[in-house]
Each structure stands twice: as C-alpha cells, then as structure tokens.
Amino acid sequence: MADEPATAAESGQPRFGPTLLREHNFRNFWFGQTISVFGDQISMLALPVVAVLVLDADPAEMGLLTAVGLLPHLLLSLPAGVWLDRIQRRRRLMVIGDVIRAAVIGIVPLAFVLGFLSMELLFVVTFVVGTVAVFFDLAWLTMVSAVARREQLVDANSLLNASRSVSAVGGPAIGGALIQILTAPIALLADAVSYLASALFLSRVRTPDQPVEHDPGTIREQLAAGLSFLVRDPIMRPSVFAVATMNLFNFAFQGLFILFATRHLGLDPGVLGLALGAGAIGGVFGAVVAGPLGRRIGIGPGYIVGLVLFPAAAIAIPLAQGLPFAAIVGVLIVAEFFGGLGVMILDINGGSLLLARMPARIRGRAGGAFRFINMGIRPIGAMMGGILGSLIGVRETLLIVTVAQLLGLLWLIGSPIPGLREIPEPPE
C-alpha cells in the first residue's frame, strides 16, 4: 500500500528497538511469532502431562517422547537447509507448516474424546510436529534477515525473544489453568488455534523472500559446505559446540522434569504452571537487559554470561526434593527466574552472533548444519536422561546432568569469543 511506512531495508535508515514494531512487515512477523509461542508453552506443559497423568508413562517413555519430537532435527536439518537455499517462496512454506501443525496437534484432543489416545499416537504427533518445525525454523532464519536490517539484528532478536519470555510467564500459567479446568488433551486446542493465527499474520508480511543464489556442486557437496563452514570457522565452531554440549545434558533434564515435578515434588498441573510462569519473569527481564548487556560488556562476554547462568540455575531443582511444599515452590520459582534470565541473555547475544556470522548465500545450509548439531544432540540427551532415570533414579540423573551442562564452557577456551565486542562480520 502506498501509505504504508517503508521498511528499514527500503528506507536505508537504521531503526532500533520498539521502532521496529511500527514497520508493517516486522510487526506482522512479530505478532505471528508471539501468538505461536504462547501456544507452544501450553503444549510443552500439556503433552508431558497427558503422558504422565492420562497414559501413566514411565521414565523411559518420557525420555523417548521428548526424543521423538526432536529426532527430525537430527535426521532432516542438513537436507532441509540445502533445499531451502534452492527455493524462493519460503514464507509460503512457513504458512503451510503452521496449518499442518494446527491439524496434527488437534488430533490429540479428538483422540481423547473418542477414546483412542495412546503413547504411540503421542509419539507420531510429536514426530510430525518436529518435522514441520525443522523446515519452519530454517525458513524463519531467512525471514528475520528480510524484515530487519543487519544493524537491527540484536534489537530484532530482543523483541522476538521478549515474546518467548513473556509467553514463558503467561503460557504455563494459562496452560496449567486450562489443564486443570479442561484436562490436558483438550487444552491442546489452544495451541492448534495459535498456529492458525501465526499463519494468518505471516501471510500478511509483504517483504519479498531473499533471492536464491544457486551454487555449483552436488547436493552432497552443498551439505558438506554448511558443515565445513561451522567446523572450520573460529567463531562458529566453539559457539556451536558449547551450546550443543549444554543442550545434550539440558534435554536429559527436560525429558524427566515434568515427571520429577509431578511425582517426586508433588506439584499438580495448576501449581506447576503458576510456578513456571512466575519463575520465567526472569526471561522477560533477560530480554530487556540482554541487548544493553551485550553492548556494555561485549557480545562475546554476554554470550558467556548466558551460557553459565542458564544451566547453573537448574541445579537447585533436584535439590528441592524433601523440602516443605512451600519451599519447593519457592525453589522452583527462583530456579526458573534465573534460568529464564540466563537463556534470554544466551539466545539474544548468541543468536545475533551466529546470524550475523553466517554468509547470506549459505545461510540455509549453515543454519541446517547448526540445527543438525545443536538440535540433533537433543533427542540423544532426552533418551540418555530416560535411560539413566530408569537405571539410577530420576533425582540422581537430574543432579548429574544439571552440573554437566556447564561442560560446554570448555569449548570457549582459547577461542575469539571472550574478546568479541561487536557482532562479527561474515567471513569472505
């Protein structure tokens, strides 16, 4: 439309912070993401609760459920990245992906009502949703660069991650209340609706997709190009492996967390949702301070602060067993607060660092390689957590894996990251 304000890319003028929300394309992109992540928070609570309280899942099944949802990232990230570097209409792909996820999530409440809900069905649903997420999230990388200028990346990531942290405050509380009132399977309808809303707002973005630059070489050579860039680049290699190490053990923790909170700490879904929502206020605070912190101490040191604070906060959770009920809730709130604070500092500074460092020409392949390593390690961690939980106990496993998350820091020794002050330029 002629009277719409120009995007930053069109005007040539940098715009920062809340000013981004005045731009039609970024605003619709942000609205769609905000609604979707609220729905995701409901599913993150509701699906494990369905498994534990409706289907009586054991530790091994809980670990497997988490792993199945993450397995597509291991299997598909590399070929998906190559494919996305070859196609033009990535935004349309994202819209279709949202519609598919809405339909698949909607199967769970339908199965519950009709009486054929099972663990096998949950495995299928989580696998399909995870598969769509691989393609959606890689296309999302190109969309961020399309709706925000390079110098706006930290601020754009701050706004996008602020949505996630606000959803972490309200989402579990809303999800817990919906589960308490409607039961967990029916509460999943809210997530299905959120995907449809996300599709609507994405369809209103008018920024053209970034142009496709076809590289010579076979698909195998292009797959190798993405991985080669990550493992050879002096900035990408340590940052990717540091986060992957942390996520290996973090998802061993995540696979058992709902089981531990409900059966071992005695929290019902409503209280658990409120505790997680209140604790995740730290995420909102983190989204506000991450950008200024990165500019004050440097984006590299800001990344390291998040890499320490996020996993360290979880150590208190397995130590809460045996405390009075009020103390358990208090410990969970404090742990989630500092965990949310840490993950926002990590994601905003680390995400901006990685996105800026990836050359635009191979961003799909490099992003696919990054997800292959970073996301592919997660189902391995979840399965490891389920196996250890069955062998040595749930609490004992959580104690081990929360401390082990800090091992990711070892990858940063001798790397340029601690000395990075500004977001790096992509290599030639």
Cα separation, 119 vs 180, whole angstroms? 21
Cα separation, 302 vs 88, whole angstroms? 35
Cα separation, 325 vs 210, whole angstroms? 53
Decide which of 416 and 205 is more confident: 416
pLDDT confidence of residue 8: 35
Q: How confident is the model at residue 7 (pLDDT cuts 50, 70, 90)?
A: very low
pLDDT confidence of residue 192: 87
Of 96, 103, 93, nearest to 192 by C-alpha is: 103
Cα separation, 63 vs 232, whole angstroms? 33
pLDDT tens for 325-354 read 888 888 888 888 888 888 888 888 887 787
CATH for 22-205+218-419 is: 1.20.1250.20
Contact between 373 and 190 under an 8 Å Cβ cutoff? The reply is no
Q: How confident is the model at residue 72 (pLDDT cuts 50, 70, 90)?
A: confident
Cα separation, 391 vs 21, whole angstroms? 50
Exposed (0-12), middle (13-18) or buried (19+): which is 406, by Cβ within 10 Å? middle
Cα separation, 174 vs 42, whole angstroms? 7
pTM: 0.65
pLDDT above 90 as % of the chain: 11
Q: How confident is the model at residue 217 (pLDDT cuts 50, 70, 90)?
A: low
pLDDT confidence of residue 50: 83
Handedness of CA 165, 18, 193, 183 (dihedral sign): positive
Of 251, 224, 258, nearest to 374 by C-alpha is: 251
Residue type, 85: D
Cα separation, 104 vs 129, whole angstroms? 7
Q: Average the pLDDT over 45-50 and give the result.
A: 80
Cα separation, 354 vs 331, whole angstroms? 33
Position of tokens 């009075």? 324
Cα 263–Cα 49–Cα 34 angle in degrees, nearest 5: 130
pLDDT tens for 304-333 read 999 999 888 888 889 888 888 888 888 888
pLDDT confidence of residue 12: 39
